[in-house]
Amino acid sequence: MTAVPEVVTVGEAMAALRATGPIRLAPPMELSVAGAEANVAIGLARLGRRARWVGRVGADPFGALVLRTLRAEGVDTAHTRVDTDGRPTGLLVREDSIGDLASVHYYRERSAGSALCPEDVLPALGPGTRVLHLTGITPALGPSAARTVEAAVARARELGITVSLDVNHRARLWSQDRARRTLLPLARAADILIASADELHLVADDPTLDEADTVAALLDRGTREIVLTRGGAGGSVATTRGTHHAPARRVPVVDVVGAGDAFAAGYLSALLDGLTVEQRLHRATDTAAFAVATRGDWEGLPTRTDLALLDTPAGTTLR
């Protein structure tokens, strides 16, 4: 019998091709799996929490890769659906440019993930689940996926499940105006809101307010915790009891893709562990440090044992 998941994430996982140079020059490519919600599920599983990812994949080798990867990482895929209507698994192609610049090309229109529907997701939520984690990426995929996210939030509210929403705006998927119209009602229902500082206006009733006033307005509106990711400056959490800040861990930066998902996984794992808001924030910056210090969206995510490695002296060899 499958154990009840503590966290359910909903979204699209894709095959990911990473080019080692400009695509027009036909460089070697590395194949992996990507998707914000899947990344968070992997991060939670590595930190010892029971995580379930719900989505759709195509009946193709890329879909098999997604499922194999998630299952190997200990993520529950019992409610994931293999699309039988010919829709393919989505594809992401990343192209590294000069310095640390990178471009991401999406091939996810009419993908299996865009056809996600409420009937796929609602059975995956039940008593015992503590957190529903969503991002602003999924509703950008199409009307069916947007309805699914809305239905999942409504069911979570009925069951008393904490709703976590990472704004995670993707400009290549939809405009800011369209994103705001869809994300604003979702954010109003969220208990935990995760965003970068430049995304806050997308979920604020008054988008003209500055950061401090926006955070105050969101707390007044009923959001329990506002978690702000600040890249190399770390992060902060605001509640009605005050605001906490934590600097980023200083590690060699190899790849920043997936850092926000790592941050979210660390924060939610600490929430489930019953840690204080300040301790959650430090866990989040620790997991983000592991993500940026390694290549790939999720490959460098830490286990619970790994977290202690950040406090070892530089140059230490563990024997």
d(C-alpha 246, C-alpha 230), whole Å: 10
Neighbours of 14 (CB within 10 A): 29
Q: Are 204 and 218 in contact (CB under 8 A)?
A: yes
Buried b (16+ CB within 10 A) or exposed e, 276-294: ebeebbbbbbbbbbbbbbb
Unique residue bearing structure tokens 């998941």: 5
Active site residue 205: no
Strand partners, 16: 32, 92
Which position among 83, 166, 255, 261 bears the catalytic label? 261
Q: Is 74 exposed, middle or buried (0-12, 13-18, 19+ CB in 10 A)?
A: middle
Return the active site residues.
261
